[in-house]
Chains A and B, each alone.
Chain A
Amino acid sequence: MQQRKDVESQITDDTTPDDRQRFMKTLSETDALFTEWQEWQSTKELLDETHAMLRDPDSSMRAMAEEEYTTLNDKLSTALQTTFPKLLVPASDDTSKLSAYVELKAGVGGSEASLFVDDLMRMYLRLSQSMQWDATVVSASEIDGGGFRDAMLEVRGTNVYDSLRWETGVHRVQRVPATETKGRTHTSTVTVMVMPIPEDEASAESSNELYSLSDVRIEVMRSRGAGGQHVNKTESAVRLTHIPTGITVSMQDERSQHQNRRRAFRILQARLLDRKLTQDVIDRRDARRDLVKSADRSEKIRTYNYAQNRVTDHRLGLSVKNITAVMEGEALKDILDGLVKHHEASVLESVLAEA
């Protein structure tokens, strides 16, 4: 709202047409919100007045007031739960069209963690199928004895990034490994990172909004000895380092360097966009001193407890008493919906705290 007042006060007769256009755009983006906000405030005032009337000595007055109070209250909570959250995401941050990469990395717990990478990967593949998203395994490093050290999925479709972004964080599994003779439960972890795929992917191998090509070091991995005609073994692994941030991307799943390089650049681009979006949230939070939590990559966000057949999402404080339903995708959808609402609610809370 403050932004709106600022913008309004900046439009004067001597603003240039360009600026004027920019201001108008900001105003129209916040227009609907402004109307809703005025509506909310007047409803709130009415509610306060009605509240006073609840103690009216006249019983018929009290009855009328009670009825009125309930109606107003309902109206306010609808505004809080549905109207505002929809309006509060600024159009410029619209990520609803973005697809995503989902990276899974085995954390603590050795081979159990690797097996869990496999389980989570299947979980996301099934979810994608039921959401009619197009999911492919971009890379996966299998390890002897089953499972994967790490894996990367590419998931394409509408709303993919918005739905999956809160999956970023540490997923913990508690179960008895097949190899455990004493029946002890082990705890292992897998780190998930969800990255938005920029709309302009074609620019990945040139300098673009997110990085300059001169800041990217390109290295080949492993030695080829004499190389050239002497060696016909496939050696196509490539590693990129974005020097300013230290972010590295390694890719070896494609059969040529050219293809791996291309893939790696696309992933680097997604990683940097992810970083930018996260930074935007932090900046906005600092600007507003709000309560929105930035996605903390090291936070334990969910526990899958096989012995108790229970999945607990720690941010929602929600437990689903059916692991299979989550792993098959259906119950995961509910959790994802909950997380999206949870995020919207915390954005709203911060705006209200500021008002």
Chain B
Amino acid sequence: MPRILPTELFALLSKHVGQDSAGMELRWLRAAARDPHHLQSLVSRRTSGEPLQYILGTQPFGPLELLTRRPVLIPRPETEHWTLRLAELIHPSSQDPISLLDLCTGSGCIPLLLCHLWPPGSVQAVGADISSDAIQLAVENAHRCGIHVSTFHSLLRATDSNGNTFTPLLADIRSLDFAQSSALRSPFHLITSNPPYITHEDYAKLSPSVKAYEDPRALLGDPQPTPYGKGLTFYHDIAKLAAREGFLARNGVVAVEVGIGQAEDVQRIFQEEGRLRETEIWRDPWEVQRVVIGRR
């Protein structure tokens, strides 16, 4: 039963997150707190700028509840939205299973949600990330969601295990030999990615809750600082991977999340460098162009 708030906690939070969110956040923090003393410490972590999702340790993502842990990027509602939409667009089955590669997988949110939503035995997913914190968390999340974790990726295994499987891969997706990695069994029917896309210029202006807690490597779209970089480095790399002979299956689909204002550039990169004949842009629930879809 909700009890009357200790008004100070509410006021403190309001100053930090605004009146509207304060009530909600306090409710969630209260549910996570062991006692009033603990609640107070959770609130002070929040007011010092720590993201709510790290304090609570979880974030719902579709019907899943994923673990969140510093410095691995917290799954965003925009990503949740398009992943759910993608799940309805493609219909793999155990008779007709697909192979999925998620580049820059972070918490594993995208492939894990797809593995959860699609029928058992219909998808073999690989999630690649350069950060060992991310790979560790993605594996924990797979276990938590009851998705089989396999160290080897191979489509053949889909039929003998009756669930979907997730293969974590610690790797730099930009390195020249990434495509030849022994853990990857191309061709892939679906490549997804929410790669880092923030420009150095924007990064400087981000809220401390993002900058001081989430891995800069998860956010910066141009790993080598270039003053006029548009944050598009990873899209060039992804397009090149997709263009490789035999990497993306015939009729294969590439779906990537983009930052505000980047969709049309990425669409062009896909057409020019990715050999993707058909492209499409999806908007997020806030009407921002958020996803570029490419088809072979």
Contact = CB atoms under 8 A, between A and B. Distances in A.
Nearest to A259: B60
Contacts of B197: 228-229
Contact of B80 (A137, A144, A233, A256): A256
Interface stretch (A7-15, A184-192, A247-255): A247-255
B24 A252 contact: yes
A144 B14 CA distance: 10
Contacts of A287: none
Q: How large is the interface on B (under 10, 10 to 19, 20 to 34, 35 or more residues)?
A: 35 or more
A257 B218 CA distance: 23
A142 B23 contact: yes
Contacts of B17: 233
B274 interface: no
B91 interface: no
A226 B201 CA distance: 14
Interface string A139-156: 011111111100000000
Interface stretch (B70-78, B138-146, B164-172, B185-193): B70-78
Contacts of A227: 76, 78, 260, 284, 286, 288, 290
Interface of A: 118, 122, 125, 137, 140-148, 218-220, 222-224, 226-236, 252-259
| The 8 nearest A-B residue pairs measured at CB | A256-B60, A220-B285, A226-B260, A142-B23, A232-B51, A146-B4, A228-B78, A257-B77
A142 B74 contact: no
B52 A234 contact: yes
B219 interface: yes
Nearest to A236: B77
B59 A230 contact: no
A141 B27 CA distance: 10
13 contacts: A137-B2, A144-B14, A222-B20, A224-B286, A227-B260, A228-B288, A231-B207, A232-B76, A233-B17, A255-B59, A256-B77, A257-B77, A258-B63
A256 B5 contact: no
B81 interface: yes
Given A144-B7, A256-B77, A229 B60 contact: no
Given A137-B2, A234-B53, A256 B59 contact: yes
Interface string B252-263: 000001011000
Contacts of A258: 60-63, 80, 84
A154 B290 CA distance: 36
Nearest to A145: B7
Given A137-B2, A144-B19, A226-B260, A231 B60 contact: no
A52 B192 CA distance: 92
Interface string B3-22: 01101001100100101110
A229 B77 contact: no
Given A141-B23, A229-B197, 10 more contacts: A140-B27, A142-B26, A218-B285, A219-B285, A228-B78, A228-B260, A230-B202, A234-B24, A235-B77, A256-B60
Interface-centre pick from B20, B23, B198 (highest chain A CB count, 10 A): B23
A338 B14 CA distance: 45
B214 interface: yes
A125 B2 CA distance: 11
B156 interface: no
Interface string B62-93: 11000000000110111111001000000000
A258 B78 CA distance: 11
Contacts of B120: none
